[in-house]
Amino acid sequence: MVLGIIVVPITTNDVEAQQAGDEYRARATRTDVAPVLDGILEQGVWGPAGLIDELIQQEPVQGAPATEDTEIYLLYDAQTLYIGVRAWERSDHGVVATEMRRDSDRILDEDNIQIILDTFRDSRSGYMFVTNPLGAQLDQQVFNEGEGGARQFGFSSSNINRDWDGVWHVAARVLEDGWVVEIAIPMVTLRFKDSEQQVWGMNIMRNMGGKNEQSFWAPISKEFTITRVSRAGILEGMQRLNRGMDLRVTPFVTAGGSSTLASGQESNNWQQDVGLDMKYGLSSGLNLDLTVNTDFAQAEVDDEQVNLTRFALFFPEKRDFFLENSGKFRVGSANPFNRYAELFFSRRIGLTESGDNVPIIGGARLTGKVGRNDLAVMTVQTDEAMGTAAENFAVAKFSRNWGRSRIGALVINKTDIDAFGDLANDTSYFNRTYAIDASIAPHPNFT
């Protein structure tokens, strides 16, 4: 199959457009002494830190100053960003916090601090970190402003990767007149430009559950959430960052056996397996994932759902190999009503429709950002299982970004193929899909 594409050139200025939150600037201070995360903001360590002490309400009175004082301190060293927060709470409601489970939605309803970092300052993507007065953690990756940055009315968005689990550390303490939290985010957890000087987009929100009050550092109108990174402020002052050796190798070995006694005869069945997962940062913006003889036994189980429609359910991807930068593979809108026409859904790889595992022989995945380009390439080879032939899955997505606008192309290929690279007997057993998508944002309030 041959697909012809006509590309219309678009001329843009290389100077980045003025960001809506540019007037809100904060500077992180370099420190030679890493703070001890104990929920105590020691003056000797945090005293020189960059300070944010004014938040603006979004709810209930948009544009009004926050009703409670909040002080946010910013420190960094070559390998870690440190954020300290002193949140006063003098109302009769007191501090509202009961949840301690990681990634629980209840964290968002209680008192919490939400931080989003647009490390490439592309006004479309970011890393979000949320914690409450008990030190519970919630984190996620955001793509395309989390579906335009608009409120989702309870729906999930495939532009928000809720199952991404970054490495970061929290210590919190509840006081008589509020609470304190110290946060450490290792640079190796983040992707950012290869540059001596770092300028990131950043926004911070404080939620006061007892008052139903939400206040932001860089104000956002009520129809949007903190994922609207085009309205974020600027975090500057960081330089000579070092992500260290960005390599994670996870080998596994499994073994088991069973013994059956029938008609006086004993039958023994022994099984063993070995495999490997590897994640390597080729650069500060590109990540390579490799897997051999993949084991998904440790993946989180799916939530139970009741399907009363004739359409298949879209269970979220929870397997680590497929998680990071998963939003870079999608095409078109992430509106939940459009998911029935979703072209690429990683849950179709290595799983049957009933959720049974199909052995994965190996796979490779390259995702990330190079300049203004988003890149996502993946290939996975499965083995024969449960009456299905061995299959090779390949997908590639490329997007070019201009401000908040983008244009991209997607290629998907699925072929019946054996483990040695020979096509199955009937070479017509393949499925290929090509797509082009674009998102034009002529104004910060429209897409």
pLDDT digits over 272-295, tens only? 778 888 989 888 788 899 999 887
**Residue 355's pLDDT band (cuts 50, 70, 90):** low
Q: Is 113 exposed, middle or buried (0-12, 13-18, 19+ CB in 10 A)?
A: buried
**Residue 34's pLDDT band (cuts 50, 70, 90):** very high
Query: Is residue 122 within 8 Å of 130, Cβ to Cβ?
Result: no
% pLDDT > 90, the chain: 46
- Number of alpha carbons in the 13 Å side-chain half-sphere of residue 253: 0
* 46-76 confidence digits (pLDDT tens): 999 999 999 999 999 999 999 999 999 999 9
Distance CA 423, CA 287 (A): 30
Query: What are the tokens at 236?
Result: 């500057």
Three-state secondary structure call for residue 424: coil
425 compared with 363, residue with greater pLDDT = 363
pLDDT at 84: 97
Query: Is residue 15 within 8 Å of 226, Cβ to Cβ?
Result: no
Query: What are the tokens at 340?
Result: 């029935």
Give the start-to-end residue ranges of the domains of the chain: 25-239, 247-257+266-301+310-439
**Residue 419's pLDDT band (cuts 50, 70, 90):** very low
* 129-184 confidence digits (pLDDT tens): 999 999 999 999 998 888 644 444 334 456 888 888 899 999 999 999 999 999 99
Distance CA 347, CA 116 (A): 28
Say if residue 316 is preceded by a cis peptide, omega within 30 of 0. Answer: no
- Number of alpha carbons in the 13 Å side-chain half-sphere of residue 158: 25
Instruction: Give the architecture-level CATH label for domain 25-239.
Output: Sandwich (2.60)
Tell whether the model's pLDDT for residue 310 goes beyond 80.
Answer: no
Tell whether the model's pLDDT for residue 14 goes beyond 50.
Answer: no
pLDDT at 420: 52
**Residue 111's pLDDT band (cuts 50, 70, 90):** very high
Distance CA 429, CA 420 (A): 17
Counted residue by residue, the chain has a size of 447
User: What does each C-alpha distance from 229 to 54, 117, 203, 218, 380 come to in angstroms?
Assistant: 19, 8, 8, 10, 33
The one-letter amino acid at 305: Q
Distance CA 49, CA 356 (A): 52
- Calculate Rg over the CA atoms of the chain: 24
